[in-house]
Amino acid sequence: MPDEQQTAAGGCGGVPEAGALLEKVPLRCQAKGILLYLVTYTSESFKVKGYLAVPQDVPLPAPAVIYCRGGIRKVGMVRKRRLLAMARRGFVVFAPFYRGNEGGEGRDEFGGDDRYDVCHAIPMVQSLPEVQPGPVPLIGFSRGAIMAMLAARECEQAGPVVIWGGVSDLFDTYEERVDMRRMLKRVVGHPRKQPEAYERRSPVYWIDAIRVPVMIVHGTGDTQVSVEQARKLGQALEAAGKDYTMELYDQLPHRFPKEADERALDAIFAWIRDKLDRVPAELSAVPLAKLPENSQDHSVILGKRR
């Protein structure tokens, strides 16, 4: 059984550095062949929590992925079964709750300074003995798309990014989701009074800064995040000459039914493995932004996946 608590200290006065693993507590897990933990790590000056799922039926160390949840606070909280489904594909999976959630310190800012909770999760995950060296892919669901794309823009060891049912333009979300306006005005501000705060949380406005491959997955029947946000992101990536692919699932809602969800996960992890395999071993510790331009392959897949 792994240690239930690990503490990493550094910097001044023994204060743990950002991205330090503080605690790793085993949790009961009904899924065979997967170990589940509640992890506490440092992000800036805060202690942040998240779930870690480690597959046991694959050779370790294994590749890792960080799952960026959607919603805010109790809405859209990380679901254990979602992590287990990903871990069954042979990946160590970490899902930060973000600051201010589930006993974590600080305040959830919906893509503000809490973006560092994803950035600092990357070195923490890379430090785990169960994880193989190299860039860490990100999967951003719904609001998590903002977090994943911000991390891809700002964090050197962020790997390829999957945007699933993701927000790409928060101005559009404000217009589309009347039920979210009160929360957005309280947490982010008003789009006319604080437009810069909305732009900072809208990847379509800074797509030139993205230097890693992107996969877009979206259901055309999504009423929570319009499929037009996926199309807008795809158009921005295309115009910027980025490496991306898009899969639109006909008539599917925000959360896919089980069979379609499994198909989508198969496609996502096949794409992630392909992108990781293209990173030369000697460059695995180099920021993906520095890989050669000719590694791009502008592929677009539209329509119903069969």
The DSSP code for 288 is: G
User: Across the chain, what does the average pLDDT equal?
Assistant: 87
The DSSP code for 115 is: G
pTM of the complete model: 0.86
pLDDT digits (tens, 9 = 90+) for 92-118: 999 999 998 888 999 988 888 999 999
Rg (the chain; Cα; Å):
18
List the single range of 9-13, 47-51, 201-205, 236-240 with lowest mean pLDDT: 9-13
Per-residue pLDDT, 303: 35
Distances from the Cα of 198 to the Cα of 28, 110, 209, 229, 265, angstroms: 40, 10, 17, 14, 30
Strands 46-55 and 34-43: antiparallel
Four-residue CA torsion sign, 164, 199, 147, 123: positive
Q: Find tokens 């079964």 and name the residue.
A: 81
Higher pLDDT, 17 or 53: 53
What is the per-residue burial (b if ≥16 Cβ within 10 Å, else e) of 228-255?
A: ebbbbbbebbeeeebbbbbbbbeebebb
Q: Which of 45, 120, 127, 254 is catalytic?
A: 254
Cis peptide before 61 (omega within 30 of 0): yes
Could you confirm whether 142 is annotated as catalytic? yes
Per-residue pLDDT, 279: 73
Distances from the Cα of 161 to the Cα of 60, 152, 273, angstroms: 23, 7, 12
Please determine, for residue 44, whether its predicted confidence score (pLDDT) is greater than 50.
yes
pLDDT digits (tens, 9 = 90+) for 209-245: 999 999 999 999 999 999 999 999 999 999 999 999 9
237, containing H or E segment:
helix 227-239
Q: Which of 142, 168, 202, 226 is catalytic?
A: 142
Could you confirm whether 190 is annotated as catalytic? no
Contacts of 227 (CB under 8 A, 6+ apart): 218, 219, 220, 248
Per-residue pLDDT, 17: 78
Name which of 184, 187, 98 is nearest 141 in CA terms: 98
Tokens coding 52? 């870690």
Per-residue pLDDT, 76: 64
Torsion of CA 70, 72, 75, 80, to 10 degrees: 50
- Other beta carbons within 10 angstroms of residue 49's beta carbon come to 22
